[in-house]
């Protein structure tokens, strides 16, 4: 996919991701790869290649990726566009004015997309993981794609070269609660053309991408949780010592 195609696809794409109305499709549990440096590095690569063409991550600097075990040279050679510098924010060259003129809306910033979806859907990583794995070909849609998590989405499937082209199979099933009525029920996917990845490989890649977006939303979350555990242990110890000191102080007072 050329850079121009990625720009057009992604600009149509993620406004719907942020403002999606949920379709009620059950969410799959997203594997947590936030402690796997190799997975996060792969997620960063996917993010730069498939998301950052149009969508900025303005709260994140490229040099912050050194926290994932990448050297400055690796970031320069593999994750930077020509005009970017390691100390720059992860932004795009397309201006808000141009984006609105070309696409009608500015592509949203993805710095905290995992946390934003968590507040809306209950679990941001689970929503993103399921969403990016449930696209299917639908020629009735303007983009040619649809999605089970977000029905009638305005976003095309930018990862289709990796996953391949699939169609969704639906059946009319009787509604158990309303006699005489049926429901349009999803029963499975049918692979039309293969992608460059097998299904397990694609699922792993999406998990890496989602884990990176989850890490990016709060890079210090692992440190925060680790410090929180030690703080609770310290407070627990203080409570025990205070309780025993109080008992020792009052033991001779009748």
Looking at residue 2, what is its pLDDT?
A: 47
Burial (CB < 10 A; 0-12, 13-18, 19+), residue 93, is exposed
**pLDDT band at 110, cuts 50/70/90?**
confident
Mean pLDDT of 64-81: 87
pLDDT digits (tens, 9 = 90+) for 35-49: 899 999 999 999 998
**pLDDT band at 16, cuts 50/70/90?**
very low
Mean pLDDT of 193-202: 96
User: In the chain, where are the structural domains located?
Assistant: 3-164+197-219, 222-254
Looking at residue 105, what is its pLDDT?
A: 61
Looking at residue 176, what is its pLDDT?
A: 67
Q: Class for domain 3-164+197-219, per CATH?
A: mainly alpha
Three-state SS at 160: helix
Distance, CA of 254 to CA of 239 (rounded, Å): 24
Q: What is the CA angle 128-132-137, rounded to 5?
A: 145
């Amino acid at each position: 996919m050329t850079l121009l195609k990625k720009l057009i696809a992604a600009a149509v794409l993620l406004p719907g991701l942020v403002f999606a109305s949920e379709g009620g499709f059950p969410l799959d549990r997203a594997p947590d790869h936030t402690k796997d440096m190799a997975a996060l590095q792969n997620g960063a690569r996917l993010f730069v290649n498939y998301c950052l063409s149009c969508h900025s991550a303005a709260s994140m600097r490229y040099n912050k990726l050194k926290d994932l075990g990448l050297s400055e040279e690796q970031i320069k050679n593999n994750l930077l566009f020509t005009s970017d510098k390691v100390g720059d924010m992860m932004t795009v060259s397309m201006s808000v004015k141009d984006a609105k003129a070309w696409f009608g809306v500015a592509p949203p910033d993805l710095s905290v997309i995992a946390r934003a979806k968590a507040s809306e859907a209950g679990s941001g990583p689970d929503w993103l993981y399921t969403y990016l794995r449930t696209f299917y070909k639908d020629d009735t849609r303007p983009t040619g794609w649809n999605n089970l998590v977000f029905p009638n989405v305005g976003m095309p499937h930018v990862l289709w070269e990796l996953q391949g082209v699939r169609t969704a199979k639906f059946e009319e099933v009787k509604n158990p609660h309303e006699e005489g009525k049926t429901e349009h029920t999803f029963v499975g996917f049918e692979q039309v053309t293969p992608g460059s990845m097998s299904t397990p490989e694609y699922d792993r890649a999406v998990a890496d991408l989602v884990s990176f977006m989850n890490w990016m939303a709060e890079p210090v979350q692992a440190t925060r949780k680790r410090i929180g555990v030690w703080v609770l242990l310290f407070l627990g110890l203080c409570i025990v010592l205070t309780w025993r000191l109080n008992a020792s102080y009052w033991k001779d007072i009748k």
